[in-house]
Chains A and B, each alone.
Chain A
Amino acid sequence: DTGVSQDPRHKITKRGQNVTFRCDPISEHNRLYWYRQTLGQGPEFLTYFQNEAQLEKSRLLSDRFSAERPKGSFSTLEIQRTEQGDSAMYLCASSLDPTADTQYFGPGTRLTVL
């Protein structure tokens, strides 16, 4: 399967712990996005990479959140000192240039903070 993959699919953690999620985009896609989706809502943008450069971040991305895409391929999203309000589905998407083109989403990582 050559779609966007995410790992893990589910993560349960205790408040205050750190968690890291991984996203592998479609191989030829140079753009990678992270979104967060809470129950009953549409995805909300967190951050965007073009190759290895992080070019845009949402105000939703607090200091406890950090994302990397070190070699312009896979990406990681880390949440430090998790809070119950961080419980959500974290979605990764990728796309080719040009700007505002089709974004293909992965299956998501469901985070539950106890």
Chain B
Amino acid sequence: QQQVKQSPQSLIVQKGGISIINCAYENTAFDYFPWYQQFPGKGPALLIAIRPDVSEKKEGRFTISFNKSAKQFSLHIMDSQPGDSATYFCAAPSNTGNQFYFGTGTSLTVIP
């Protein structure tokens, strides 16, 4: 069974700062790695995802960096805003590709 290790567990950042969340996975036969954002009482919402034929993907203030040889990927949130305060989950596909294994989540708080 795939294990996905996510760190840190919680993160406090000043408004305008950079938030960095890291993930490490074990093995997978599929190359698709999403990050989800979840607000209290809501379901996870896809934030950004990468297929590692590239090492980096940027969408607005959000960037995924991927290191395939190290089996690690990270989420960078530039110019962090109070509205970014949420829990973030990384995920890696199972060996069948029919499910995702999720990290334990990072609770991000952006202080105004």
Contact = CB atoms under 8 A, between A and B. Distances in A.
Interface of A: 4, 6, 31, 33, 40-45, 48, 55-56, 58, 91, 99-108, 110
29 contacts: A6-B43, A31-B98, A33-B99, A40-B104, A42-B4, A42-B89, A42-B91, A42-B103, A43-B100, A45-B100, A45-B101, A48-B99, A55-B98, A56-B96, A58-B99, A91-B43, A91-B44, A99-B30, A99-B96, A99-B97, A100-B32, A100-B97, A100-B100, A101-B32, A103-B34, A104-B46, A107-B42, A108-B42, A108-B43
B66 interface: no
Interface of B: 4, 6, 30-32, 34, 36, 41-46, 49, 89, 91, 93-94, 96-105
Contacts of A56: 96, 98-99
Nearest to A41: B104
B98 A48 contact: yes
